[in-house]
Structure 1
Amino acid sequence: MSDSTNLFVRARAALMEAEPQRKCELADRLYSDWNNNLLKIESDSDAVRTDVTEPGRPLKPELVHPRALPRRGLGTQEGQAALIHAVTHIEFNAINLALDAVYRYPGMPVEYYGDWLRVAHEESKHFNLLRNKLNKNGL
């Protein structure tokens, strides 16, 4: 079987992608290929996948604990931008969680994979909507 049709190989590639736009494209293409029956559910082993300890994410912005950030009121443009930025990070992490759920658990029912691929696709849409809002407003 080709790597391009192996669900687990493709899910891992999307999970490990660090560039956000490319991760979204990979997640969306994975979902599309799934819906078009272009992917095979075959794994070399039924062992839990432990080689992924951290998903791909950009080097910047640096991840910091929320308590390390200044408090901003939602009544200000800066506060609203910070909130949108935080939710954008949540959506990006949700893409990773959905892809990880696909990759890490071979041997699940077919519907399991379809559901998680749909989640990754939906979170990708949410991420892009929020990122576009931030970019449009120069934030």
Structure 2
Amino acid sequence: MTSLSDLAVAVLTEPDAAQKAAKSREAADRWRTAAGTMEIGSALPPDRPARPGKPPLLPPAEMPRRRGQSDAARATLLHAVQHIELNAIDLAWDMVARFTEENLPRAFYDDWVQVGDEEAKHFTLLADRIAELGYSYGDFPAHDGLWEAAMATRDNLAARLAVVPMVLEARGLDVTPAMITRFGKIGDEKSVNVLNIILSDEIGHVAIGSRWFHHFCENNDLDAEKTWQALVQKFFKGLLKPPFNEDARSVAGLPANYYHPLSVPSLRKETKYTKF
């Protein structure tokens, strides 16, 4: 009988980006339909997920700038988000398959299946919008920074929770409102609508990461704030970069006293966003 881990590995080993998103949504639907009868299982995930032949992956410093209002400029910016969403699909299913020996409740898997489903939804929404602009996934370069964090934390559940949802995905809460404003100023309401959906869902994803990180700390008699800071300093390269969307982060269960001490002092300031 197929297990949840089997479904997760099937997503991770699918090289075609659109098919990966489709398999992610199908796997989530099968898990929910099983209504508690499917086993978690213990299929071993690959160290690196399968990827299509394009886009070319460049170091972050070599990524082209995304400026202007042309269809190509807008598609390039949305493509960068889409690439993040593709990585996020794999990160969610890797979380499902990699930590099956941690004696976690089924609710943990319910949450990360939901994340995988929603990341696939985001990828598809962006694919549709980019297609309307005349482009498709792989038409622009991308970078590989997200999976570097996954590799660094592949043997440490607490570190994975601290770094991936609570640092990397939390960064999306900081930068997406500016993208929404940018598209809004040029009247691109279709892109605004897609980004608003993504931002709303990503608050929930950060909240899931925060909830399970605090669950881990409570079960192991650890001070959550100090443990989070120590793990981020060990497993995340560099300082956290403000400005921070403190309202959205707070809603997601990530207090400012966690990340402010690890941020760049000269840039630190409280930033208020009224729409998230």
What TM-score comes out, normalization by structure 1 length?
0.85
- How many aligned residue pairs are there? 131
Q: Distance in 2 between matches of 1:137 and 1:80?
A: 8
Q: CA deviation at 1:59?
A: 1.3
Q: CA deviation at 1:86?
A: 0.1
Q: CA deviation at 1:74?
A: 4.1
Q: Distance in 2 between matches of 1:11 and 1:69?
A: 30
Equivalent position of 2:113 in the other structure: 117
Q: Distance in 2 between matches of 1:80 and 1:137?
A: 8
Equivalent position of 1:41 in the other structure: 40
Equivalent position of 1:22 in the other structure: 19
Q: Contact conserved, 1:31 with 1:117, CA < 8 A, in 2?
A: yes
CA RMSD of aligned residues (A): 1.7
What secondary structure, in the 3-state scheme, does the structure 2 residue paired with 1:36 have?
helix
Q: Judging changes above 3 Å, is the alpha-carbon distance between structure 1 residues 136 and 76 closer, same or farther for their aligned structure 2 residues? A: closer
Task: Please tell me whether residue 134 in structure 1 is matched to residue 115 in structure 2.
Answer: no
Gaps of 5+ in 2: 136-276
Q: Contact conserved, 2:72 with 2:133, CA < 8 A, in 1?
A: no
What TM-score comes out, normalization by structure 2 length?
0.45
Task: Please tell me whether residue 108 in structure 1 is matched to residue 104 in structure 2.
Answer: yes
Q: Deviations over 1:65-121 (max 9, x none)?
A: 232133231444432221101000011110010010001011321011110011000
- Taking the TM superposition and a 5 Å limit, the aligned residue runs for 1:52-71 are 52-71=46-65
Q: Distance in 2 between matches of 1:34 and 1:74?
A: 43
Task: Please tell me whether residue 86 in structure 1 is matched to residue 80 in structure 2.
Answer: yes
Task: Please tell me whether residue 32 in structure 1 is matched to residue 29 in structure 2.
Answer: yes
Q: CA deviation at 1:52?
A: 1.5
Gaps of 5+ in 1: none
What secondary structure, in the 3-state scheme, does the structure 1 residue paired with 2:87 have?
helix
Q: Identity percentage over the alignment?
A: 37
> Whose radius of gyration is greater, 1 or 2?
2
Letter paired with 2:22: E
